Amino acid sequence: MSELLYSPLSKMKVLAVIWTGGGKTHIIRCWGTFTKGICLVLHPIPVLTFDQVLKFTEGSDEYGSIEAHNIDDASPILRKNIIAKMQHIKRSTTSTIFFFCSPQFMVKDATFLRAVIQCAQMDTL
């Protein structure tokens, strides 16, 4: 199992290829929380992201506001709200928003993909 986390705010990409139970979720949660902003987590198995979203939202207020969304399972209305949030976030944010998304969804949903590209161009993803 591997996951890819990308956050241009830190100008780094992390590819975590570790056995099941090896700590990928912990690495991604810590790294994303400390870099702030939007963190896109490409997850190859959408079924497993439900548990991760729950774990990520349990973050302490000591680390700022933390949100986590599973884009694959989001309703069209929630996706619209998420895209609006992506377009209005500032680089100076003290919040962290994790977006879990399967590569399959990125290919199928052109609106979300355009929002991701726009955020990357604005250096806020």
The CATH number for 80's domain is 3.40.50.300
The domain total for the chain is 1
Beta bridge partners of 2: 17
**17-35 pLDDT, tens digit each:** 777 788 877 777 777 777 7
| Residue 69 DSSP SS3 | strand
Q: Which tokens go with 16? A: 């975590």
Contact between 116 and 39 (Cβ < 8 Å): no
Contact between 2 and 17 (Cβ < 8 Å): yes
Q: Which tokens go with 34? A: 């400390």
* Per-residue buried b or exposed e for 68-80, using 16+ beta carbons within 10 Å of the residue's own CB: bbbbbebeeeebe
**58-94 pLDDT, tens digit each:** 665 666 678 888 888 889 999 899 888 888 888 777 7
Gap between the terminal Cα atoms of the chain = 24
Q: Which domain holds residue 46?
A: 2-121
Bigger pLDDT: 100 vs 52: 100
Q: Which tokens go with 58? A: 């349990």
